[in-house]
Structure 1
Amino acid sequence: MKPLSKNMIQEIKQSKGRFIAIILIIMLGVLIFVGVKAAGPSLNDSLNKTVADKNLSDIQVLSTTGFDQTDIDLAKKVPGAQVEATKFKYVIGGKSKVAVALYGYDENAKQNQLIMRSGRLPKNSNEIVLDKNAKNKYDYKIGQKFKFASDAGLKKRSYKIVGFADSPQYIDNQSRGSTNIADGQVQLFAYVPQNQLDMAVGTMLNLHFNSLKDKNTFSKSYKKAVNKKLEILKQEFKGRANQRTNEVAGDYLQQVDSQKQQLEPLKAADPQAYSEQLAKLNSASIKVLKQSKTSYTWQTRKDLAGFSAYGESSDRIAAIANVFPVFFFLIAALITFTTITRMVEEARSEIGTFKALGYTKWEISRNYYYYAISAGLIGAMLGSVIGNETLPRIVLALYKQYIALDWVVDLQWIVILIATIFSLLATFGAAIIVIKKELVAGPAALMRPKSPKSAKKILLERIKPLWNHLSFNSKVSYRNLFRFKSRMFMTIIGIAGGTALILTGFGIQNSISASGNRQYSEIFDYQAVVKLNDNNNLSKVRKILNQNDQYLNSTVINSTTAKLKANKQQVNDVNVYTPKSIKDFDKYVHLGTDLQKHQVVLSKKTAQLLEVKKGDTVHLNVTNGKKVTVKVKAITQNFIGHFIYLSPDMYQTTFGKQASGNTLLLHLKSQTKGQRKNLANKLLDSGEVMGTSYTHDVLSTVSKMSSSLKPIILIFVLLSGILSFVVLYNLTNINVSERIRELSTIKVLGFYNNEVTMYIVRENIILTIVGIIVGYGVGNLLTAYILNQAATEQVIFPLTISWFGYLVATLLMIVFTAIVMLVTHKKLQHIDMIGALKSNE
């Protein structure tokens, strides 16, 4: 073996700690960079495989009067559409009398296939397959009976449970959507043979397109393609609603026409009686037409319960992956660069010797390149494999709120390539720069010790009263801090980076929780929303509420939804609130501005999406089709959803009529789940209420969003902590190796072991304190940036970091400093003083 190679192998053996430290730092950086980058795609790919295998519908249409063969034929005109009609309705069922999404099971159906978890599919007319949650949450077992309410519209009321299943239509185990029966929340889905539903035709139309099967269901290209298909479908159904209404009401209207003709002789004989009879018939006709009126609900996959939340969750991880791991990796690369630089500088005498012996620059530098490349590649390979194969699986395993997906974890080759390139830049790049710099000098200069940096007065020395009161050791520490500025900045960057990363982990979770908590404490101060029927008897509703022990008070508002347009931008599903009494309304919704004075107030996120500011106009298209233009006079803070508030005067001016009271906002005492359901059922049974929704359910959803990130945040915090420890340990080792002669000298002069240790550690303590403080600021900035990237169209995440996050970040840094101090103390006790002082350096 050539002397150069022998020397390099000896170098690695003698400094195994440094070589391993470089590999570890690179590995950690690459692990979290590749692992987190792979987590988002793995979540999406896993769901894509599940919904593709089970043929989840791309489009679903719900009809109030059902779909006949004409409707099915119209839907088939959409290019590539596979169409199936399904019987579907919301009913009350089970021992807890919960809202159930009930489907008619058709063994020939190809779309929305169930994922059986136990038991089997129904074969006989008295059998039912239940949601897996019926087993997990309500303790139902196979063989038991499941009973429906008498008004469920079924041929039987009781069915034998033969299986439990998951459905690709309900990917979130904790959310089954909302409805206008029971407490407003669907708790279960169920399938009975379709002939058991007392319906002539299906009420849900499912459309699936094979051409879209291989597309990522959350990608822009998929959404664009589906929206294009949906527009074609809507065009095919244009005018069909009125036609269908006439078909459904046709027989009855024919009878009415016949009865009107029979009344004709009465017209001359008794005009008054004729008018009365005719009015009754017309009133009955209007009522039937109203009940038979056909309306459609159009929905794509994003409208399914939990589907958008899943996509937003993977988007948040992707947003974190675009910032958090990159910052993490940059710190790792920076420290690695410093370590490699120090390694080459320590080998000055060997480089000078080999140069004097006649070795070429390439021969001398080659082995250092190999050293740097091998450390970089080993670290990058280990980090890539461990990160890509473990983190996505951990994330998938911890997403327990979603149905068990078919895991798809592909190697992210582009991300791995990027990570490898950056790893080599940090190791090989550092070696190239430093070797090139060192080889410029001649052999004699290289074999002589490098001139120490000259001491200069620091700013603290100029403050005489303070400087004169410092001890000798303190003075030395402060001077050494500023004497080796690069080491000082590297340590501060390392500590600040670790603190910032840990703080960011907690900040992301805290901020997501804060969006719901602040929305329903600072802005919304009510506990329930009651949607009233068109011709409601408000006094009857109030009477029911007054009989409830948890009810406190309420206010009446007009609530509707609208599309807002401005600056070529559009926001759908905007809530339009108009209070009956602004004075009362202020107790329920805190706008932070005077609605009476400003007339039109728009929520902040909506204004941002529309690129609107105070004084601009927006075009408002309400659900009844009326289009108006209003001027925004104020913008209010809002964290969840889109809102525009109109004063009663503005509503009357804009729409030409007074705002009708169709919604109640309720103040309630703390309620149990049973009490919420009981009140909602009583209000619904009154016939005056369409449905009741509770803020508790919204807060629960936001809480789930936050909880789903807890495992990921924990992984970030642990890896950030490990990186911080390795960085601090590595920098301390570099510090000790650079000053071995200095430390040996003071030990020879009679300093005790503790004093020698404190000579180094005192600097570490100062730098740790500075690094932690800097880390607080960087952590807040990093968290704010990630939250901005992770924000959805509906939600703003306010920057919130709890005291616990600061405490954990600070304590971890203190603990790491203490551990490094102990390790350094043991190491300094065994310094070879004579050997160090005899060496050239």
Structure 2
Amino acid sequence: MNPLTKNMWRDINKSKGRFIAIILIIMLGVLIFVGVKAAGPSLNDSLNKTVADKNLSDIQVLSTTGFNETDLNLAREVPGAQVEATKFKYVTGGKDKVAVALYGYDKTAQQNKLIMRSGHLPRSNHEIVLDKKAKTKYGYKLGQQFKFTKNAGLRSRSYKIVGFADSPQYIDNQSRGATNIADGQVRLFAYVPQEQLNLMVGTILNLHFNSLKDKNTFSKSYKDSVDQKLRLLKQKFKNRSYQRTIEVAGTYLTALNQQQQLIDQLKLTDPQRADQQQTQLNSAKTKLLNKTKTTYTWQTRDDLAGFSAYGESSDRIAAIANVFPVFFFLIAALITFTTITRMVEEARSEIGTFKALGYTKWEISKNYYYYAIAAGVIGAILGAIIGNETLPRIVLALYKQYIVLDWVVSLQWITILISLVFSLLATLGAAIIVIRKELVEGPAALMRPKTPKSAKKILLERIKPLWNHLSFNSKVSYRNLFRFKSRMFMTIIGIAGGTALILTGFGIQNSIGASGARQYSDVFNYQAVVKMTDNGDFAKVKNILQQDGQYRSSTAINSTTAKITAKKEKVNDVNIYTPKAISQFKNYVKLGSDLNQKRVVLTKKTAELLKVETGDKIQVTTADGKKVNLKVGAISENFIGHFLYLSPTVYQEKFGQSAPTNTLLLHLKGQTNNQRQNLANKLLNSGEVMGTSYTHDVMSTVSQMSSSLKPIILIFVLLSGVLSFVVLYNLTNINVSERIRELSTIKVLGFYNNEVTMYIVRENIILTIFGIIVGFGIGNLLTAYILNQAATEQVIFPLTISWFGYLVATLLMIIFTAIVMLVTHKKLQHIDMIGALKSNE
């Protein structure tokens, strides 16, 4: 082994702490960079495996009159389609009479297979498999009876529970979708043998395509392919609705047509009476066709309960991964760069000696390059392996809101390669820059100690009244802070970065949770929405409400949905509210500006998507195809959904009629779940109401969105804390080693151990305080940027960071500073003063 190589190994052995510190900093940066970047794909891959293994339908079509063999054959004309019809309907049942999505079990079916958690599938006519939630939330057990209400329309009312299951159609453990029975929320799904449903044909048409099975279900490629298949399917069924209606009404139409012959005969004897009967007959035909009218509801996976939310959740993690870990890694790389730079500068005399002995620049520099490469590669490999293999699994293990069969964690090779390149830039890049700079000097200059920076007057010295009142030690500390500016900035960056990352972690969670809270406090001030039937009796509904002890007041509005276009941009499913009385409406919805008689108010997110401002024109297309042009009078704050508010005057002017009231907004006192459900049932049973929805349910969904990020945030906070500690410890060590002669001098002059420690620590305290303050600002900016990236088309996340986040970030930095202070104190007690003060010449 040549002298240069021996010297390198001696350097590593002599300064193991520094070598390990470089590895740790690089490892932490790569760990969180690779780990978080892998979390989003792992969530998607895990769900993709689940839906592929259980053959989740790509397209579902619901029909009000069901599907016969003709319909199935039409669907089979779509290339590659595997088609199955399933009996399905919403019913009420159980001890709490909740809404249940009831499916007919067919053992030959290949799509939407259940994931059995306990028990077995139905084997006889009086057995039922229930949603796992029936066991975990409602306390049902195997062997018990589950009873449906009379109006469920089943062959039996009571079934023996033989199994509990999850379904790929309901991946969100909390949400089961909405319906127009019970309280408007589906609480459970269930399967009984299909013969038990009194339905002649299946009511859901399931289509699955093997060609799409290997595609990422959340990818644009998959969605484009499904949209193409859906368009083709709709073309096949273009004229089928009318044909199916005639088929269903056929027997009755035949009877009515027979009456037609009698009317024709009557025309010869009593034309007037014949005309009356003809009118009655035509009316009867119209009523029959309307009653049996076939309508289709088209669904893709995005329309399933919780599916879009899952995709948005992984998108949010991906958005966080595009910013948070990169910032984390940049701090780690910056500190590593400083450490490597300091290491090379400390070796000036050795470099000068080897240069004097005749070694070439390459021979001298390559061992430092090897040192930097070794630290960078070891740190990067450890960080990549630990990050890729642990963080996604931790996230998946804690991500209990959704069901998955197996965890799928793939190596993110591109991310790993990027992290390796940046690790080498931070280590090898620093070594190259500094070595080249040092080797320019001659051997004699290199073997002498580097000339210390001369002291200069600082700004504080010019403020005489303040400067004169400072102690000697304080003056020295302030001078040293500005004397070593690079070290000062590095320490501030390290502390500020750690503080910002911790604050950002809390900020992301607080802000996502705040979207629901702000929507239902700053914007909406009602607790429930009651949707009336077409001819609903408001007086009857008001009477039911007034008998409820939790009811306070209500206001009537017209509520509908429409598509809005402007400047070649489009937003679907915009809620349009037109109040009956503007004076009452402002007590239920806070728009931030008056909804006067000629005002149109559009919500902020909708305006952003349409790229419109106050004064711009928009085109509104209603569900029945009517188009009107409106001028935006104001833009209001809104956090969830899309809304357009019209005054009654504008509605009358643009639509040519007064706005028909079809919805009630309710003010209610605090309700329990049972009280909400009972009120919704009473309103539904009145026959005047289509359904009732509660703001409590929406807020619960948003709260779940926030909770789902808790594992990610916890990991961020912990790793950010560790990085901050390592950075502070490393920079303090560099500070001490740089000033060892200075510290030895003041110790020789009679300074006590505590005074010597405070000589260094006082600077750390000042820099820590300043770094925390800067970190607060950076944390807010970083959180705001990530929230902007994570926002969906439906939701805006307002920047919100609770006092607890600031407190935790501050306390952690203070604790780390205190720990480093204690370690430094012990180290300074054992300084080799004689050795440090010896001349190098």
TM-score interval w.r.t. the shorter chain?
A: over 0.9
Range with greater deviation from structure 2 (627-636 or 278-287): 278-287
2: distance between equivalents of 1:515 and 1:176?
22
Aligned to 1:417: 417
Range with greater deviation from structure 2 (665-674 or 594-603): 594-603
Aligned to 2:718: 718
Give 1:628 shift. 2.0
Aligned to 1:207: 207
Equivalent AA in structure 2 for residue 789 of structure 1:
Q
Give 1:270 shift. 7.3
Count of aligned residue pairs for this structure pair: 841
Give 1:296 shift. 1.0
Aligned to 2:64: 64
- Describe the SS at the equivalent of 2:55: coil
Equivalent AA in structure 2 for residue 7 of structure 1:
N
Equivalent AA in structure 1 for residue 807 of structure 2:
L
Give 1:706 shift. 0.2
Provide, for residues 83-124 of structure 1, a one-character-per-residue CA deviation record: whole Å limited to 9, x for no partner: 111111100011111100011111111111111111111121
Range with greater deviation from structure 2 (102-111 or 623-632): 623-632
1: distance between equivalents of 2:63 and 2:623?
17
Give 1:350-361 correspondences, 5 Å limit.
350-361=350-361
The answer to whether 1:37 aligns with 2:37 is: yes
Give 1:53-452 correspondences, 5 Å limit.
53-263=53-263, 281-452=281-452
Give 1:290 shift. 2.3
Superposition RMSD on alpha carbons, in Å? 1.4
1: distance between equivalents of 2:428 and 2:13?
20
1: distance between equivalents of 2:42 and 2:798?
28
Give 1:37 shift. 0.2
Give 1:259 shift. 3.0
Taking structure 1 as reference, are residues 8 and 822 closer, same or farther at Cα in structure 2, changes over 3 Å only?
A: same
- Describe the SS at the equivalent of 1:124: coil
Aligned to 1:584: 584
- Describe the SS at the equivalent of 1:754: helix
Give 1:269 shift. 7.2
Equivalent AA in structure 1 for residue 714 of structure 2:
L
Aligned to 1:822: 822
1: distance between equivalents of 2:733 and 2:43?
41
Provide, for residues 691-741 of structure 1, a one-character-per-residue CA deviation record: whole Å limited to 9, x for no partner: 100000000000000001111101100000000000000000000000000
Taking structure 1 as reference, are residues 594 and 271 closer, same or farther at Cα in structure 2, changes over 3 Å only?
A: farther
Equivalent AA in structure 2 for residue 107 of structure 1:
K
Range with greater deviation from structure 2 (614-623 or 687-696): 614-623
2: distance between equivalents of 1:780 and 1:554?
40
- The answer (yes or no) to whether the contact 2:597–2:649 under 8 Å persists in 1 is no
Aligned to 1:619: 619
Range with greater deviation from structure 2 (78-87 or 589-598): 589-598
2: distance between equivalents of 1:839 and 1:198?
100
- The answer (yes or no) to whether the contact 1:499–1:776 under 8 Å persists in 2 is yes
Aligned to 2:743: 743
Equivalent AA in structure 1 for residue 703 of structure 2:
S
2: distance between equivalents of 1:725 and 1:604?
42
Aligned to 2:563: 563
- Describe the SS at the equivalent of 1:607: helix
- The answer (yes or no) to whether the contact 2:598–2:650 under 8 Å persists in 1 is no
Equivalent AA in structure 2 for residue 572 of structure 1:
N
Taking structure 1 as reference, are residues 608 and 552 closer, same or farther at Cα in structure 2, changes over 3 Å only?
A: same
Taking structure 1 as reference, are residues 495 and 556 closer, same or farther at Cα in structure 2, changes over 3 Å only?
A: same
Aligned to 1:840: 840
Taking structure 1 as reference, are residues 252 and 839 closer, same or farther at Cα in structure 2, changes over 3 Å only?
A: farther
2: distance between equivalents of 1:609 and 1:59?
28
- The answer (yes or no) to whether the contact 1:603–1:636 under 8 Å persists in 2 is yes
Give 1:348-747 correspondences, 5 Å limit.
348-747=348-747
Which sections of structure 1, spanning at least 5 residues, go unmatched?
none
Provide, for residues 443-480 of structure 1, a one-character-per-residue CA deviation record: whole Å limited to 9, x for no partner: 11000111111111111111111111111111111111
Provide, for residues 53-76 of structure 1, a one-character-per-residue CA deviation record: whole Å limited to 9, x for no partner: 111011111111111122112211
Give 1:246 shift. 2.1
Give 1:385 shift. 0.4
- Describe the SS at the equivalent of 2:674: helix
Give 1:292 shift. 1.1
1: distance between equivalents of 2:371 and 2:70?
75
Range with greater deviation from structure 2 (224-233 or 620-629): 620-629
- The answer (yes or no) to whether the contact 1:598–1:634 under 8 Å persists in 2 is no
Equivalent AA in structure 2 for residue 532 of structure 1:
M
- Describe the SS at the equivalent of 1:590: coil
TM-score norm. by structure 2 comes to: 0.98
Taking structure 1 as reference, are residues 523 and 266 closer, same or farther at Cα in structure 2, changes over 3 Å only?
A: same
1: distance between equivalents of 2:620 and 2:75?
31
Equivalent AA in structure 2 for residue 821 of structure 1:
M
1: distance between equivalents of 2:229 and 2:426?
50
- Describe the SS at the equivalent of 1:258: helix
- Describe the SS at the equivalent of 1:122: coil
Aligned to 2:793: 793
The answer to whether 1:2 aligns with 2:2 is: yes
Give 1:619 shift. 1.7
- The answer (yes or no) to whether the contact 1:640–1:796 under 8 Å persists in 2 is yes
- The answer (yes or no) to whether the contact 1:88–1:204 under 8 Å persists in 2 is yes
- Describe the SS at the equivalent of 2:319: helix
1: distance between equivalents of 2:267 and 2:677?
54
- The answer (yes or no) to whether the contact 1:348–1:438 under 8 Å persists in 2 is yes
1: distance between equivalents of 2:405 and 2:501?
30
Equivalent AA in structure 2 for residue 51 of structure 1:
V
2: distance between equivalents of 1:227 and 1:335?
49
Range with greater deviation from structure 2 (663-672 or 398-407): 398-407
- Describe the SS at the equivalent of 2:775: helix
Provide, for residues 760-812 of structure 1, a one-character-per-residue CA deviation record: whole Å limited to 9, x for no partner: 11110110111011101100000000000000010000011111111111111
2: distance between equivalents of 1:639 and 1:435?
55
- Describe the SS at the equivalent of 2:596: helix
Provide, for residues 622-661 of structure 1, a one-character-per-residue CA deviation record: whole Å limited to 9, x for no partner: 1122222222111111100011111111111111111111
Equivalent AA in structure 2 for residue 150 of structure 1:
K
- Describe the SS at the equivalent of 1:779: helix
Range with greater deviation from structure 2 (264-273 or 393-402): 264-273
Aligned to 1:759: 759
Provide, for residues 191-250 of structure 1, a one-character-per-residue CA deviation record: whole Å limited to 9, x for no partner: 111111111111111111111111100011111111111111111111221222222222
Give 1:174 shift. 0.7
2: distance between equivalents of 1:619 and 1:305?
30
The answer to whether 1:779 aligns with 2:779 is: yes
Equivalent AA in structure 2 for residue 581 of structure 1:
A
2: distance between equivalents of 1:455 and 1:710?
49
Equivalent AA in structure 2 for residue 85 of structure 1:
A
- The answer (yes or no) to whether the contact 2:597–2:650 under 8 Å persists in 1 is no
Provide, for residues 117-136 of structure 1, a one-character-per-residue CA deviation record: whole Å limited to 9, x for no partner: 11111121111111111111
Give 1:288 shift. 2.7
TM-score norm. by structure 1 comes to: 0.98
2: distance between equivalents of 1:353 and 1:798?
61
- Describe the SS at the equivalent of 1:595: coil
1: distance between equivalents of 2:625 and 2:242?
16
- Describe the SS at the equivalent of 1:327: helix
Range with greater deviation from structure 2 (234-243 or 528-537): 234-243
Give 1:266 shift. 6.2
Range with greater deviation from structure 2 (58-67 or 718-727): 58-67
- Describe the SS at the equivalent of 1:596: coil
2: distance between equivalents of 1:489 and 1:829?
27
Give 1:279 shift. 5.6
Range with greater deviation from structure 2 (276-285 or 14-23): 276-285
Which sections of structure 2, spanning at least 5 residues, go unmatched?
none
- Describe the SS at the equivalent of 1:489: helix
Equivalent AA in structure 2 for residue 757 of structure 1:
T
- The answer (yes or no) to whether the contact 1:495–1:771 under 8 Å persists in 2 is yes
Aligned to 1:24: 24
